[in-house]
Amino acid sequence: MKLKNKKVKILFLIFSIILIAKDVYAEKKKEKSEENKIKVSYKCYLDIFYTWEQENNNKNKKKKSIKVKEFFKTVYSTSEDKEKASNILKENLESYKSEALDDCKRKHNNMANCISVGLRKNSKEYIYLDFNTKKLLTDSIKEDCKQKTGKCLSSTSNELICRKIEIKEDTPSNTKKKK
């Protein structure tokens, strides 16, 4: 009977060791697969533009207006879901366009502001100039501002573009400090 008990104990011990080793192996395998996990997200973006009309006031020629399309900014949205990323931009599109028109008005609808900015940029040199040179500088700034001044017409955007981004996730075993 004692011999049977010893055999049972030994078999029990062997099976216990096998089960523990199996669990350890499975856990190490799980850690390796977690290290290789890739996080997928989507980055969507839109380019915002505005269009303004520049008036060409040549005295010898007829009044001609020139339409100018200018880039305002690129807006981004990132999410794990492509629809969510694109919807965020679609929901805010009108406010982005409104910002573009405000920027257009600030830059192109205000001749006085343009002239004052031009004079401020040259203020250090301006005080040392004689009367005729000051007049030439002021006339030059006014002429530049005429070329930059006009009427803001509209703001637009290009088509929404979304790209898939794959990022390898950092896990605790992946981010160990290296000495």
Inform me whether the pLDDT recorded for 33 exceeds 90. no
Q: Which two tokens stand for residue 32?
A: 């390796």
Q: Which two tokens stand for residue 133?
A: 């040179």
Q: What is the pLDDT, as a whole number, of residue 10? A: 76
- pLDDT tens digit sequence for 104-131: 998 888 888 888 888 888 888 888 889 9
Inform me whether the pLDDT recorded for 61 exceeds 70. no
- pLDDT tens digit sequence for 91-102: 999 999 999 999
Task: Kindly give, in sequence order, each residue whose CB lies less than 8 Å from that of residue 8, ignoring residues fewer than 6 positions away.
Answer: none
Mean per-residue pLDDT, 15-35: 71
Q: Where are the domains of the chain?
A: 38-107+152-172, 110-148
Task: Kindly give, in sequence order, each residue whose CB lies less than 8 Å from that of residue 54, ignoring residues fewer than 6 positions away.
Answer: 65, 66, 67, 68, 108, 147, 148, 149, 150
Model-level pTM greater than 0.75?
Answer: no
Q: What is the mean pLDDT of the chain?
A: 82
Mean per-residue pLDDT, 80-91: 92
Q: Which one is predicted more confidently, 75 or 174?
A: 75
